[in-house]
Amino acid sequence: MLTSAAIKIMTHQTLKLAGMSCAGCADSIERIIKSIPGVIRCQVNFGMEQVDVDYDPKRTDLNTIQAKVRDAGFQATPITEINLESRPEKELLTKLSIAIVISIILFIGSLPMMTGLSLSFIPHWLHAPLLQLILATPVQFWCGQSFYKNAWKAFKNRAATMDTLVVLGTSAAYFYSLFLTFGSDFIEKQGFNSHVYYEASAIVITLILLGRFLEKRARKETAAAIKQLMGLQAKTARVIREEQTLDIPIEEVKVGDIILVRPGEKIPVDGIIIQGSSSIDESMVTGESLPVRKTINQQVIGATINKTGSLQMQALRVGKDTVLAQIVRLVQTAQASKAPIQRLVDRVTAYFVPVVMIIAVITFLFWILRTGNLTLALITMVEVRIIACPCALGLATPTSIMVGTGQGAKQGILIKNAESLELAQGITTIVLDKTGTLTQGKPTVTDFLTREGVRDGRELSLLQLVVSVENHSEHPLGEAIVRYGQLNQIKTLEVTEFDSITGAGVQGKVGSDFVQIGTQQWLERQGVETKVLKKVAHDWEWHKKTVAWIAGNGGLEGVIAISDVLKPFSSSVVAKLKKMGLEVMMMTGDNLETAEAIASELGIRRFFAALRPQEKAEKIEYVQKKGKIVAMVGDGINDAIALAQADLGIAIGTGTDVAIAASDITLISGDLQGIVSAIELSRATMRNIKENLFFAFIYNLIAIPIAAGVLYPFLLNPIIAGAAMALSSLSVVTNALRLRRIRPRVGG
């Protein structure tokens, strides 16, 4: 565990890696970097071809780390963002194209030998060993150049990788055929078959190159979520400077700039509205489909779309400080992290290649000693080396993590790391905060009743008086009344002699009318008779609503009920969580009566009320001691202690720094359905990882013995072995991509 002192001086760096060919390469790089004095943490992600390094800048530096990686035969360059637009390497495509053409010619020329048939339509010279040698050589040493380079890197680092297996296997087939080409008489005198296997080595190399090409393309698809997020940002901004309107690149926008945003345009950066109002489509950032009404003094998020009105906004956060940039960074970090299940895979992968090489040698010795058939012994050894695939194991976990976290980001679910994603599928108890989580988090007017009813428009005229006075109040209940007035398109009037009485209410003069809004006790002390509306008020209070009494010129005029209402999907989310087999609890700082009413309405049987922040954490600890794996859902700020105590913290927030820092998972939109989606996504991802690992293990457990000849006289052709190896990695990546189809729904 890192000390606080170490954390303070630690420098974090993400590097893009080049030259990796398999999981063994990733393991070698990780081992090399960790051996550097001053490196605190190192984590290589083979799927994303990048490494995250934490180091002490007083003991080492970036240049040293890069030099060590370079000495090992790889390249490491700092990145701020992943270039998702780059196509698979041009060189790889060129070599693959040439290898395919040559392999087809070799295959056709070898058909008579492979089938044992006399195929007259194939020219005899096409399967002449010398011609096949000429054709196979460039495939072996130019198209397959990367295999030799990477195998040599591994050898220098005292390691063995998949490239080692490919080089040993194909080289054995090539050089054995080369010997037969010029020494067939010697072989035949020994009673051995003199068939050459140039086509096998060439086609195997071609198939593996094809597999890598397809794998690279598929792996790029796993990063589609980041690509989509990065593509959301506006390219330009319309800035007002020195009374001139200028269109400038987004990179040149500065904090404090005044920006004009017209209807239908993207909001370029995070900011605050200083003029105008509009409906803002925030779905691309929050996952919330319905537009949100925004007006003066309200903040807007960069990359969201201004739907209806013209706005002037002041830039608050630009560049890497915007909410979108934070989201991209968080998703990149999550995709690069390792799940706990990956540790087992890493241990297996580290021993995989040496074990396969030992098996290959044993296979060769077994068949040469038992049959004396050099060809049989050689072919089975080559097949063992070629068919084994550590890459399938190496890709099984990271590709699923990449797709899973990316899919979450598209739905407004920010997952901090792979460990959080894995943990989410194992929780047994979920604790829900009330205010701001189950409820809207802001008081709302639910009822409004006047003493005189609606006769002669008295209801609207009284509401206008009340809203005008409350417009000068900073109390949350007053703000709720003002919002209610805005919804009813009430225009405020000038107020004089305004006064706020703490714990009682507010009062002021609107024209000739003296208006008072406050508690029943306060108005009664002012001589206002409240008896006529007492029964109505009592009924509202029984439903856990706060009642504000209204008096005009010393007489009772009406009452307003205010409540922090439940979010639209609170009931269905709680029901869904129960259906998923989770124990649902509620914790709140509110009084027992309110908590009981909310819990009863939602069907939550176990709840705790009147809790301070520390007491919430203590309750969670108590539940954990009972053997439960607990997830806490809160607002990410007030519930920070409880979120930290829980096994998994889920923050209902707006994507702020605090919310992200306080939680393992952040639901940007505040939509409770995100809780269900996050858990279902976690379960689907872990199920996908287990499928990948099962396939990778089973493939090798079945394929290697068959290649070794356990089904003799049935033997695999080296070409089939090469194809199987190439396709095994591709199938793992393709299976991971199925996670992109996941669309969790509460009502489903």
Catalytic center residues? 433
User: Please, which residues bridge with residue 306 across strands?
Assistant: 280
Residues 6 or more apart in contact with residue 550 via CB below 8 angstroms: 462, 466, 515, 516, 517, 556, 557, 558, 559, 560
DSSP character string of 564-614: -PBPTTHHHHHHHHHHTT-EEEEE-SS-HHHHHHHHHHHT--EEE-S--HH
Buried b (16+ CB within 10 A) or exposed e, 281-311: bbbbbbbbeebbebeeeeebbbbbbbbebeb
C-alpha–C-alpha distance, residues 619 and 622, integer Å: 5
Residue 569 near residue 746, CB atoms below 8 Å:
yes
Q: Residue 103: which residues within 8 A CB-CB, separation 6 or more?
A: 139, 199, 202, 203, 206
Longest CA span, the chain: 125
CA–CA gap between residue 265 and residue 312 (Å, rounded): 12
Contact criterion met (CB below 8 Å) for 164 and 380: no
Q: Report the C-alpha gap between 503 and 477 in whole angstroms.
A: 12
* Distance between CA atoms of residues 192 and 424, nearest Å: 60
Distance of alpha carbon 418 from alpha carbon 398, whole angstroms: 9
Asked if 331 and 414 count as a contact pair (C-beta separation under 8 A), the reply is yes
Give dist(CA 260, CA 139) in Å, integer. 59
**Type of residue at 468:** S
Instruction: Tell me if residue 530 falls in helix, strand or coil.
Output: coil
Q: Give the residue from 537, 534, 630, 627 showing the smallest Cα distance to 584.
A: 630
